[in-house]
């Protein structure tokens, strides 16, 4: 019997007071004029974000909005697992587990909740090491085992659907491969990437070009992942101590991984950016979230094996340009859609398009 209990976010005033003091005392680095995002986070944007954080952002308003969503914790395998659980009013609703990645969290999915609850019971957890779950980093398989227990034993769902991206993509594939009798179908926004171990003679031209793109991407954009995978503790001291530093580390990814038109604020509001950052700040989970990369043993996880469970894949223009042939190599592909807009955080950036695509796929799988 698993003890599931209600949960409310309740940040102590002393934490917010300390945050304001740290923001006031930010020691800004020098930067060349008009650099924009060329060398990383745009200094002008970050200063405007921090100024709003101090003088305009209302955490208590955001906290109340989050607390209006049913939240719970469950003790599983010695960890406290935080999750949202929104039950549909429909008697025919199917359970749908939504899994986030980095550097976001359960907050990725708050805008799609009203779009999906007519037909689905939604379970939206904080991955171990993230948000309000225990600050313990787990592998794909480790998290998959925890979420299988959550769905089957704690919540009583014997069969369920799963959707995820980024780290959530790996956990979703592990769930499908470890629990094929329970996972009816999955939906992914990426299926993993070529790592150089593939036999290129068996790959299509599109797959080879994709592999070259990913290799180039790692050189230009992948430094964060190398740090997370090798020395996350070194980076954590600064990010856990400086809210401006944390905002820089996270916001740069929201800018780089969005639809590449307009400015970052054309895709995410300052309130959305800061609420996601605040969840990391008040829970002090930036270290354990980064450590997830270091404990990952990708080639020895169930997520590395081809998935036989029916799978839908949506490729968003702000994310890696996955070709259909690569998706077919990795999963039992039943639907493949190249989306017109959206990026790595599509459920937050373009919630209507993401929810419609996911809903269309799952309704095609009975």
pLDDT in tens, 248-263: 999 999 999 999 999 9
Token output for 6: 């209600």
State the DSSP code for 203.
S
More confident residue, 198 or 272: 272
Q: What is the pLDDT of residue 87?
A: 97
Residue 69's nearest CA partner among 31, 123, 21, 17 is 123
Q: What is the pLDDT of residue 297?
A: 78
Q: What is the pLDDT of residue 51?
A: 98
Confidence of residue 366 (pLDDT cuts 50, 70, 90): confident
The domains of the chain, with CATH numbers, are 41-364 (3.40.50.1820)
Percent of the chain clearing pLDDT 70 (strictly above): 100
Token output for 167: 């780290």
State the DSSP code for 72.
E
What residues are labeled active site?
Answer: 166, 293, 344
Q: Where are the alpha helices (DSSP H) in the chain?
A: 13-24, 43-55, 59-67, 113-116, 140-149, 167-178, 205-221, 223-230, 232-241, 243-256, 270-283, 286-295, 324-330, 346-349, 351-364
Q: What is the pLDDT of residue 32?
A: 86
For the ranges 88-92, 198-202, 260-264, 328-332, which has the lowest average pLDDT?
198-202
pLDDT at 298 over 80: no
Pair 171, 144: CB distance under 8 Å:
yes
What is the rounded CA–CA span in Å between residue 340 and residue 337? 9
Strand partners, 75: 80
Mean pLDDT calculated for residue range 223-246:
97
Q: How many CA atoms lie within 13 A of 136 on its CB side?
A: 13
Q: What is the pLDDT of residue 29?
A: 95
Confidence of residue 43 (pLDDT cuts 50, 70, 90): very high
| Buried-state track 164-202, b at ≥16 Cβ within 10 A, e below 16 | bbbbbbbbbbbbbbbbeebbbbbbbbbbbbbeeeeeeee
Percent of the chain clearing pLDDT 90 (strictly above): 94
pLDDT at 1 over 80: no
For the ranges 254-258, 294-298, 330-334, 352-356, which has the lowest average pLDDT?
294-298
- Would you say the pTM of this structure is higher than 0.85? yes
Q: What is the pLDDT of residue 3?
A: 85
Q: What is the pLDDT of residue 46?
A: 98
Question: What is the biggest distance separating any 2 CA atoms in the chain, rounded to whole angstroms?
Answer: 60
C-alpha 223: how far from chain center: 19
The string of DSSP letters for 85-127 reads: EE--S-TT-EEEEEE--TT--GGGGGGGHHHHTTTEEEEEEPP
Q: What is the pLDDT of residue 300?
A: 83
């Amino acid at each position: 019997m698993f003890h599931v209990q209600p949960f409310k976010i309740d940040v102590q005033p002393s934490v917010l007071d300390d945050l304001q003091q740290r923001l006031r005392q930010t020691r800004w680095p020098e930067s060349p004029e008009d650099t924009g995002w060329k060398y990383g986070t745009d200094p002008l944007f970050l200063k405007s974000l921090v100024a709003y954080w101090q003088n305009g952002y209302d955490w208590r308003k955001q906290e109340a909005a989050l607390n209006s969503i049913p939240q719970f914790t469950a003790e599983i395998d010695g960890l406290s697992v935080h999750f949202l659980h929104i039950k549909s009013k429909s008697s025919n609703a199917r359970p749908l587990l939504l899994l986030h990645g980095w550097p976001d969290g359960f907050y990725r999915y708050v805008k799609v909740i009203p779009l999906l609850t007519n037909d689905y019971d939604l379970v939206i957890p904080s991955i171990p090491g993230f948000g309000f779950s225990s600050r313990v980093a787990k592998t794909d398989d480790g998290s998959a085992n925890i979420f299988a227990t959550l769905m089957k034993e704690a919540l009583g769902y014997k069969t369920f659907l799963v959707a995820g991206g980024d780290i959530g993509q790996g956990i979703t594939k592990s769930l499908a491969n470890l629990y094929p009798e329970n996972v009816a179908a999955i939906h992914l926004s990426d299926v993993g990437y070529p790592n150089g171990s593939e036999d290129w003679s068996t790959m299509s031209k599109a797959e080879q070009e994709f592999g070259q793109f990913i290799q180039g991407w790692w050189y230009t954009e992948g430094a964060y992942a190398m740090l997370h995978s090798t020395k996350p503790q070194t980076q954590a001291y600064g990010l856990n101590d400086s809210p401006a530093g944390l905002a820089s580390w996270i916001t740069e990814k929201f800018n780089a991984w969005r639809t590449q038109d307009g400015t970052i604020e054309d895709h995410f509001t300052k309130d959305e950016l800061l609420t996601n950052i605040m969840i990391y700040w008040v829970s002090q989970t930036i270290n354990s979230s980064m450590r997830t990369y270091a404990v990952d043993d990708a080639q020895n996880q169930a997520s590395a094996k081809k998935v036989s469970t029916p799978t839908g894949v949506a490729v968003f223009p702000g994310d890696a340009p996955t070709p259909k042939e690569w998706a077919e190599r990795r999963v039992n592909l039943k639907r493949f859609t190249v989306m017109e807009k959206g990026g790595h955080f599509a459920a937050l950036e373009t919630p209507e398009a993401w929810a419609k695509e996911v809903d269309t796929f799952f309704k095609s799988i009975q």
